Structure 1
Amino acid sequence: MSKILIIGAGGVGSVTAHKCAQLPEIFSEIILASRTIHKCDAIAQSIKERTGRSISTFAIDADNVSETKSFLDRIKPDIVVNLALPYQDLPLMDACLDAGIDYLDTANYEPPDEAKFEYKWQWAYKKKFLEKGIMALLGSGFDPGVTNVFCAWAQKHHFDEIHELDIIDCNAGDHGQHFATNFNPEINIREITQRGRFWDHGEWVETDPLSWSMTYDFPEKIGKKKCYLMYHEELESLVMHLKGLKRARFWMTFSEQYLTHLRVLENVGMTRIDTVEYNGTPVVPLKFLKSVLPEPASLGPLTQGRTCIGCLLKGIKDGQPKKLYVYNICSHEACYEEVGSQAISYTTGVPAMIGAKMMLEKKWHRPGVWNMEEFDPDPFMDNLNLYGLPWKAVEVD
C-alpha cells in the first residue's frame, strides 16, 4: 500500500494516473498536481468514470522548491513522479532531497534558455541522493526508458557484446491536423530542430538537423517509412553501459507535411527560444507558437494508426555474429479506448507507472541517481507485457 504523487497534468500525466488507478493493490492513494488544477480535475473525473476510484488533485508550482517541499512534507508521498516539463527536473529533485522522498522522471533536464538536454546536471545529484538514502530513476518513459530496458535485456540474454545500436521510433498514426505535435510542442520542436549526434568508435559525431535519413521497413504491415537521425538522451547513458558498443544512433519518422511546416516556421523565426519584443511586450516565439497549436491531449480522439518503437542490435554471441530487433507496436485507437489518450502519451505514461511500481515493490531500489539500464530488465519486461505494451524480439538477417 503506497501513496504516489504525480506532477504534471498533460497527456502523459493523464495516462500514468489512469494506469496507476488500475492497480489499487500497488497505488493505494493517488495525488495529481499541476499549475492548472482544472486539468487535474478533468483527469480525476475521467478516472472516476473509468475505474470508480477517486484521486486527490492540487495546484502546485513545481519551479518553487520551498513550496513543493512544504507540500511534500504535508502529504508525505512514497514517491514523486515528475511528468512536468524538463525545465522542472532540478527543482523537483531538490524538493525531493529536502523532503527525503524517492523521485522518477521521463525526460532529462533542459535549461529553459538553451535547447541542450543532457544528464550531467542530474547525474551531479548522485552523491546527495546516496547520502540521503533515497533514489532517483531517470528517463522512465519509452525513449528514453523502455528502449534502455530493451538494450539491457538483449545484453543479458542474447549478446556477449553489442557492437551497433539503432533506436528507431516510428509514429505511423494520422491525426488529420495540418501541423500538430504529439507531446508538448515547445519541447518537441526544441528537440527536433537541434543538431543530430551519434556515437561512433568512442566519440560523438554531429550532423546538421535532420540531414541524415534512411528508409526502414517496419514490421506487421506498417511498411517502409523514412527516418531521420536525431540526438536522443538515452544514447548518453547507453554508451556507458553496453559492453563493446562501437556505434549508437537514434532515428525518428516524420511526414513531409510535418517537415515542410516545421521548415517554414523555423525560417520565419517562430521556433526561436530567445525573447523578442512585440508592442512593448517580451515574447518568446516558440512559447507563442505552442499556445496556438493543437493541445496534444486533444489529439486522442482524432488519431488513427499505430506506433512502432524498437531497438535494432548487432553484436556477437558465443563468437558468432547476431542481429536482434526488439520492438513494441501500439494502437492509437486502443489507447484512446482504454485511457482516453493517443499512443504517444500512452507509450510514455505506462513505463512511468511501471518504473514507479518497480521502485515501490523494491524490485528496483537503491539509493542514488540511476538510469533504466542499470537494473535487472526482466521484471520490467514482464510488466510491459502485463500492462499494455507487449513486445517482440526477432532475429533478423
Structure 2
Amino acid sequence: MRMMLVGAGAVGESILKILQWRDQEGAWLEYVLVCDFERKRAQEVVEKLDRDDRFEAAAVNATEKEAMIRLIRMHQIDFLMDAAPPFASNYIFDAAYETGIDYGNMGTWSVPMEHPAYGPGIENSYEEPMTKYNFDRFDAWKKRGNMALICMGIDPGVVNVFAKYAATQLLDEIREVHVKDGGNLSVPGSDPDDIMFGFNVWTVLDEVMNPNVEYDASRGGLLVDRPFAGKEVWEMPDGVGQNTLVKVEHEEVVTMPRYLKQYGLQRATFKISLDESLITALKVIDKLGLRSIHPVRIGETEVIPRDVVAACAPQPGDIGSEMTGEMLVGVQCIGKKDGMDKSYFLYQAFDNQESMKRWGSQAVVAQTGFGAALAIELIGKGIWKDAGVYSPEYFDPLPYMALMDESGYEYHIEEMKL
C-alpha cells in the first residue's frame, strides 16, 4: 500500500504511529505521504516516527482537489486516508475517485437547514444529509473498480463491526442497536465550570449542535429531533459508572439500517455523554451565532465565527496528560436467539494514562486512531476489498475482531438483562 494521509492532526498522528507499529518491516505498508495544511506540522509528525524513511511530509489544502490529485499522481498513491476536518471530506473523496484509487475516512460531512423541520425525513432538516454524498456515488465507484470505506474510526467504525458481529454471531435476529459513547475522564483539581472538549472543537460544534437523528422503521425511517434530545442515564461497565447521554447526529443511524435490515434491524440510535458545562457553553455559542460557517465582516477583516471559537476554545490535546479515567464506547444490540429475547453490550475501553504513556495521545484520540488503523490494515492486506462505497458493517467482522485480539485493542461482550 502506498498511502496518502490528509490531515496530520492528533488522530492522524495516532493512526500513523499504530500503522508503523503494526507493520514495522513494511510487509504491506510501503509508503505514506503525510499531508497537512502546513508542512511544518506534517514534518513534526514524520519526525515522531523515528525518521522511518517510509514516511514523507508535504503541505496541501484539503479543500483544493487539484492539488491533492497532483500529489497522488506524483507519489503513485493507491490509498487516500482522510483525517481532515469534516468540511473537507467531499473534496478528498472526489480526489480519490478522480485518480482511481481507494479511499477511507472516519466520518462524513453534513449540512443542516437553517430552519430544520424536525420529525420524519432527514431530507426535511438537512440540505446535505450525512453519508448521502458518498453513497450517492456508489455506482460510479463500482464502475471504476475502486473502494471507498467511510466511517472507520471508533464510532462510527468499531461499533459498526460490533453490530455486524452481534447480528451474525450472537443473535438470530437483531431488532435494535444503540451506540453509547461515554467514559469517566476528568482533570483532578480542575474548576467545575471549566469547559473540556473531548475531541476536535470544530467537530463538536458541528455534530453535537446539529439536529440529531435516529432510525425507527415503525415510524417511517429516519427521525430528526432538536439538539440534546433523548437524555438518559446509562450505567457503563468496568467501574466507569453512570453517564448522562443525549442523542446527537451520527452516521451509525444511517449506515446500520443500510446493512443490517436484512438481519431484522428496526431501530438505531446514537447517544454521547456530554458534560453539563459543555452543553451550557454550546447552547450559548449557538444562540450567539458563533457556530456559523458563514463569514462575518469585522472592520476590514472577514472571519468565520466557528473558526474563531475553535481557535480560542481549550484544545483537547492540551489537557491529555492531566486527565485520568477512561473512554468507553460500545453498542447495545437487542434481538432474539433460539426464540429468546437477548441483549448484549459490546464495548471497547481505553485508559487515558496508559494511552498517554504508550502512544503519547489522550484516550479519545488513540482509541479513534486505533480503530481506523486496523481497518486500514485489512484494506492494505486485501482482506476487506470490494468495488463501491461501503461502511464497516458490509464486511465480515471476524478478521477485524481477530486483529483487535492480536493487537491488544481489548473489547468485551456483556450479556444484559432485559
Q: Same fold (TM over 0.5)?
A: yes
Cα distance, 1:304 vs structure 2: 1.8
Structure 1: runs of 5 or more not aligned = none
Please give the alpha-carbon distance, in whole angstroms, between the structure 1 residues aligned to 2:414 and 2:198: 28
Query: What SS does the corresponding residue of 1:48 show, helix, strand or coil?
Result: coil
Residue 86 of structure 1 aligns with an amino acid whose one-letter code is: P
Query: What SS does the corresponding residue of 1:179 show, helix, strand or coil?
Result: coil
Q: Is 1:133 matched with 2:151?
A: no
Does the 8 A contact of 2:202 with 2:306 survive in 1?
Answer: yes
Partner of 1:355: 375
Please give the alpha-carbon distance, in whole angstroms, between the structure 2 residues aligned to 1:53 and 1:305: 36
Decide which moves more: 159-168 or 294-303: 294-303
Please give the alpha-carbon distance, in whole angstroms, between the structure 2 residues aligned to 1:30 and 1:221: 39
Partner of 2:196: 180
Does the 8 A contact of 1:20 with 1:30 survive in 2?
Answer: no
Please give the alpha-carbon distance, in whole angstroms, between the structure 2 residues aligned to 1:97 and 1:54: 24
Does the 8 A contact of 1:21 with 1:30 survive in 2?
Answer: no
Deviations along 1:194-251, one digit per CA (max 9) or x if unpaired, are: 2222122242233221132111111111111211122211110111222212221111
Query: What SS does the corresponding residue of 2:50 show, helix, strand or coil?
Result: helix
Please give the alpha-carbon distance, in whole angstroms, between the structure 2 residues aligned to 1:273 and 1:55: 34
Decide which moves more: 52-61 or 331-340: 52-61
Partner of 2:122: none
Does the 8 A contact of 1:350 with 1:388 survive in 2?
Answer: no
Query: What SS does the corresponding residue of 2:49 show, helix, strand or coil?
Result: helix
Partner of 1:369: 389
TM-score, normalization by structure 2: 0.89
Q: Is 1:238 matched with 2:256?
A: yes
Deviations along 1:250-300, one digit per CA (max 9) or x if unpaired, are: 111111222222223233332233332212322221111111113333332
Please give the alpha-carbon distance, in whole angstroms, between the structure 2 residues aligned to 1:369 and 1:211: 31
2:39 to 37, 55, 64: 37
Partner of 2:69: 69
Decide which moves more: 231-240 or 370-379: 231-240
Partner of 1:101: 101
Partner of 1:344: 364
Taking a change above 3 Å as real, the CA distance of residues 223 and 357 of structure 1, as seen in their structure-2 partners, is same
Partner of 1:217: 235
1:143-222, aligned counterparts within 5 Å?
143-175=155-187, 176=190, 178-200=194-216, 201=218, 202-222=220-240
Does the 8 A contact of 2:349 with 2:411 survive in 1?
Answer: yes
Taking a change above 3 Å as real, the CA distance of residues 65 and 370 of structure 1, as seen in their structure-2 partners, is same
Cα distance, 1:111 vs structure 2: 4.9
**4+ runs deviating over 6 angstroms:** 112-115
Does the 8 A contact of 1:113 with 1:274 survive in 2?
Answer: no
1:209-288, aligned counterparts within 5 Å?
209-242=227-260, 243-288=263-308
1:292-331, aligned counterparts within 5 Å?
292-331=312-351
Please give the alpha-carbon distance, in whole angstroms, between the structure 2 residues aligned to 1:305 and 1:322: 30
Decide which moves more: 223-232 or 322-331: 223-232
Pairwise CA RMSD = 2.0
Please give the alpha-carbon distance, in whole angstroms, between the structure 2 residues aligned to 1:352 and 1:223: 27
TM-score, normalization by structure 1: 0.94
Does the 8 A contact of 1:231 with 1:249 survive in 2?
Answer: no
Does the 8 A contact of 1:168 with 1:311 survive in 2?
Answer: yes
Query: What SS does the corresponding residue of 1:183 show, helix, strand or coil?
Result: coil
Please give the alpha-carbon distance, in whole angstroms, between the structure 1 residues aligned to 2:336 and 2:112: 42
Please give the alpha-carbon distance, in whole angstroms, between the structure 1 residues aligned to 2:356 and 2:141: 37
Residue 221 of structure 2 aligns with an amino acid whose one-letter code is: E
Query: What SS does the corresponding residue of 1:165 show, helix, strand or coil?
Result: strand
Residue 71 of structure 1 aligns with an amino acid whose one-letter code is: L
Structure 2: runs of 5 or more not aligned = 115-125
Taking a change above 3 Å as real, the CA distance of residues 188 and 377 of structure 1, as seen in their structure-2 partners, is same
Decide which moves more: 171-180 or 152-161: 171-180
Cα distance, 1:53 vs structure 2: 6.3
Query: What SS does the corresponding residue of 2:5 show, helix, strand or coil?
Result: strand
Deviations along 1:324-353, one digit per CA (max 9) or x if unpaired, are: 110011111111112211111112111211
Taking a change above 3 Å as real, the CA distance of residues 54 and 74 of structure 1, as seen in their structure-2 partners, is closer
Please give the alpha-carbon distance, in whole angstroms, between the structure 1 residues aligned to 2:323 and 2:110: 29
Please give the alpha-carbon distance, in whole angstroms, between the structure 1 residues aligned to 2:14 and 2:378: 17
Residue 186 of structure 2 aligns with an amino acid whose one-letter code is: D
Decide which moves more: 153-162 or 40-49: 40-49
Could you tell me the percent identity over the aligned residues? Answer: 24
Does the 8 A contact of 1:15 with 1:350 survive in 2?
Answer: yes
Deviations along 1:17-42, one digit per CA (max 9) or x if unpaired, are: 11111123332322211112221122
Partner of 2:16: 17
Please give the alpha-carbon distance, in whole angstroms, between the structure 1 residues aligned to 2:305 and 2:396: 43
Does the 8 A contact of 2:230 with 2:247 survive in 1?
Answer: yes
Decide which moves more: 14-23 or 297-306: 297-306
Query: What SS does the corresponding residue of 2:214 show, helix, strand or coil?
Result: strand
Deviations along 1:76-99, one digit per CA (max 9) or x if unpaired, are: 123111101222222222221222
Partner of 2:29: 27
